[in-house]
Structure 1
Amino acid sequence: MRRLISSFCLLTFMFTATTAFADCDESSKQELKSAKSAGWKFDDDGKRQNLALAAADCLGTTDAELRDELAFEGLSAWMRTEKLTLPTLTALRIKMLNAVQAPAAEESSFLRPFAILTLAELVRVDRKKAYLSTQERVDIVNAASHYLSNLHDYRGFDEKEGWRHGIAHSADLMLQLAMNPAIEKAQHETMLAAIASQVAPASHFYQYGEGVRLMTAVYYLAKTPSFNKRDWDLWFNKLVEKSIQPGPYNQARLAQRHNLSAFLLPLYFSVRESSDPALKENLLPALRDALHKVN
């Protein structure tokens, strides 16, 4: 009994100590480099759990190699091979949600887009083997949808700073949520509205594949039973009305047309190539009409 109580206290301490972000230091980088060179394999499971939590603290660093190729890559590798324990997954989820819900003043940091991408991996774990509660899934949907809808930092890749890519990372999370059979219609509607808000911004020309990432999430939402042909007709009509403004060409109108085409064309191709007749029936007429209006 004492051993059980001690183990419980240890887990509680670990959880409490790791729900806030700590400083990411050089020792973490060296440990992650060693772990990567070993194929992310550990004989000591406790060391793996501790390093995973340390890696989470490095997701906001300005060091692109540490942030992307070590910290996130390690977390992804361990989650995709089911090497992280439930307490570690829980601590990571709370950390990532706290980061995503941080004040808007922190929008330009690296932490929020990489927290969103890490949430996508956490949701993927749940899709493969459910461990989240219904409310925890709803909380992730709401936080991700709010973040995406209110995102104004459209930076993708910089040769010195590396990736931010908040739009694409958000789309990746929406994709994992769309593929999760435990997500319900109300959440699908929230997600679809958030995606629509960023399909064709007038303030930026997408250039890093954002349209494809957004359309992939919509494609998998369309494969759920939450929406019928009439829903999609209305959704695409509203999307085009919002994105194709009348009047003389200017940079804003050109950006919207560019971004809308970069979303519609790969979606049309994907639906055309699909072997799902219901998907084609529900989406193709609206997609054809939308493409005619863009061109």
Structure 2
Amino acid sequence: MRPALLLALCLLAAPSSAQPCPPAGHTAASLQALKAKQFALADAAEKRTLATGLLACLSDPNPDLRDSIAYEALSQWMRAGDFDAPTLRAIRDSLYSLLDGEDRAGFGKPFAALALSEVARTDRVAPWMSAEERAAMVERAAAYVESVSDYRGYIEGDGWRHGVAHGADWLMQLTLNPALDRAQYQRILSAIAAQAVPRSGHAYVFGEPERLARPLLFAAKRGLLSSEDWSAWFTALAAKVGKLDRADYAGWLGRRHDLMAFLTLLYREADQSDDAAIKALKPAIAAALKPA
């Protein structure tokens, strides 16, 4: 392996938490200038090195560095097919390290998940992961979505955290991948159920139900689950609201709010869809919408 490529891959594999933001050799102003040029970099090695540095910026409290520069640059480069499989694998593993690390400010994990949705997309467009790697990513994504307990969305000055929505985007890119099997779709649906009606009773206000609905609809479109599977899933989802308990009225009301928001938009999509598999969801959704 060429020394320059080996160095780049070693840098990519290094934990992003050990790197500064802005990356060495860059300033916020120089990164803004690069954004103004639509992140155009002619030198492939320079682009790989900068991608490494920008991973640390996914945890930065400055939303311009985190969202408008780091995420946008990584997304653009991956969508353009600028990275080969070894580079994508190293980016993925560094993002996994972000998910596993501390995240006191609450930005790193949601934005690692969002960046991982772009990594998953590259594998969907031009497969490079092994079946084992893909299965591991499905489990990683599902476990991340289930783990989210910080429900902050947009805060003026902070920008977005949006852990549930970003995790749902990761699940969506995976559900679009035709390489997934029935068991993997069921694992994804289990994660969706965990957050469509969170046990805490947090009431969503930042579009989370819509984002969670997307991977479900794409899973339905694959047609790998039977009508009995869907009926059982929606029945179990509705049961998560629980019986009205005056001692936990706010929690019950929040769960009911989330269930109704999620089911109502799914029913609308099923009613208006031209896809037979999605339209077939209507009876199970309608049954779940009925008062207990």
1:80-115: CA deviation from partner (whole Å, max 9, x where unpaired):
11122333212210011111233xx53652111000
- Distance in 2, Cα, partners of 1:79 & 1:100: 20
Give the corresponding residue for 1:291: 289
- Secondary structure at 1:293 match in 2: coil
1:63–1:278 Cα change, 3 Å: closer
**Paired residue type of 1:228:** S
1:124 to 118, 121, 125: 121
Q: 1:180 to 1:127 in 2, by over 3 A?
A: same
CA RMSD, Structure 1 to Structure 2 (Å): 1.7
C-alpha separation in 1, matches of 2:203 and 2:160: 17
| Alignment partner, residue 103 of structure 2 | 106
Aligned pair 1:207/2:213, yes or no? no
8 A Cα contact 1:100 1:143, kept in partner? no
Is the CA contact (8 Å cut-off) linking 2:28 and 2:65 kept in structure 1?
yes
Question: SS of the counterpart of 2:82?
Answer: coil
Query: Paired residue for 2:270?
Result: 271
* Structure 2 partner of 1:187: 184
Counterpart of 1:54 in structure 2 is 53
Contact kept? 2:110, 2:163, Cα under 8 Å: yes
In structure 1, what is the equivalent of residue 75 of structure 2? Answer: 76
Q: Does 1:152 align with 2:173?
A: no
AA aligned opposite 1:78 = W
Cα distance, 1:14 vs. partner? 2.0
Q: In structure 1, what is the Cα distance between the partners aligned to 2:132 and 2:96? A: 13
Give the structure-2-normalised TM-score.
0.92
CA distance in 1, matches of 2:6, 2:44: 18
Aligned residues: 285
Deviations 1:195-235 (A, max 9, x none): 10111123311000000000111111111232110000000
In 1: Cα distance, 2:224 partner to 2:29 partner: 47
Separation in structure 2 between the aligned mates of residue 256 and residue 203 of structure 1, nearest angstrom: 5
Deviation at 1:10, TM superposition (A): 3.0
- Residue of structure 1 in register with 2:40 after alignment: 41
Give secondary structure in 1 for the equivalent of 2:195. coil
Cα-to-partner distance string for 1:159-208 (whole Å, 9 max, x where unaligned): 01111000000000110000001112221111111110111123311000
Instruction: Quote the residue 2:216 is aligned against.
Output: 218
The Cα of 1:29 is off from its aligned counterpart by 2.9
Aligned residues of 2:117 and 2:173 also touching (Cα < 8 A): yes
Q: Which amino acid aligns with 1:208?
A: F
Indicate the SS of the match to 1:236: helix
Contact preservation (8 Å) 1:195, 1:214 = yes
Taking a change above 3 Å as real, the CA distance of residues 55 and 28 of structure 1, as seen in their structure-2 partners, is: farther
1:258 aligns with 2:252: no
Of 226, 229, 232, the match for 1:228: 226
**Equivalent-residue separation in structure 1 for 2:277 and 2:150 (angstroms):** 36
- Report the residue type matching 1:250 in the other structure: Y
Contact residue 32 and residue 71 of structure 1 kept, 8 A = no
2:164 corresponds to which residue? 167
Q: TM-score under structure 1 normalisation?
A: 0.91
1:246 corresponding residue in structure 2: 244
Q: Relative to structure 1, is the Cα distance of residues 242 and 121 closer, same or farther in structure 2, using a 3 angstrom cutoff? A: same
Q: Is the 8 A contact 1:100 1:144 kept in 2?
A: no
Q: Mind listing any 5+ residue stretches in structure 2 that lack a counterpart? A: none
Instruction: Compute the displacement of 1:28 (Å).
Output: 4.7
Residue type matched to 1:211 in 2? P
Sequence identity of aligned pairs in percent?
Answer: 35
SS at 1:234 equivalent: helix
Among 8, 12, 16, which residue is 1:18 paired with? 12
Does the CA contact (< 8 Å) of 2:139 and 2:187 recur in 1? yes
The equivalent residue for 1:140 is 137
Distance change (3 Å), C-alpha of 1:229 and 1:269: same
